[in-house]
Amino acid sequence: MKFPKVVRVYCPRCNTYTDHTVTIYSHGKRRNLAEGQRRYLRKLKGYGSSRKPKQKRFSKTTKKIVVKLQCRQCGYVIMKPLGRLKKVELAETR
């Protein structure tokens, strides 16, 4: 799917329709000092195997794509989920 790099959508902070720059959202790096990650690493220690069983059958072939829209006037960020897509490409506007 081709998605434009600049879209004109409603900005709740400006209270008008403004131009927004579009980027594809990607999650950040996992933190090793987070409590859940420390608990996970603690359970992996020792003679036992992995904490959860390894997945054998993968039914999902795509990821859910989320687009990040940033207002050019005030910098307000809107996250807009697009759903399951094989490929997303940011295209230039006409």
- Cα(43)–Cα(54) distance, rounded to whole angstroms? 15
Condensed to tens digits (0 to 9), the pLDDT of residues 59-75 reads 888 999 999 999 999 99
Residue 94 has pLDDT above 70, yes or no: no
Instruction: Report residue 91 as tokens.
Output: 């295209």
Amino acid found at 33 = L
pLDDT digits (tens, 9 = 90+) for 21-56: 999 999 999 899 999 999 888 888 877 777 778 888
Per mean pLDDT, which range of 4-8, 18-22, 45-49 is the poorest?
Answer: 45-49
The domains found in the chain, sorted by start residue, are 1-27+62-94 (3.10.450.80)
DSSP string, the chain: -EEESEEEEEETTTTEEEEEEEEE----PPPTTSHHHHHHHHHHSSSS--SSPPP------SEEEEEEEEETTT--EEEEEEEEES--EEE---
pTM of this prediction exceeds 0.85 = no
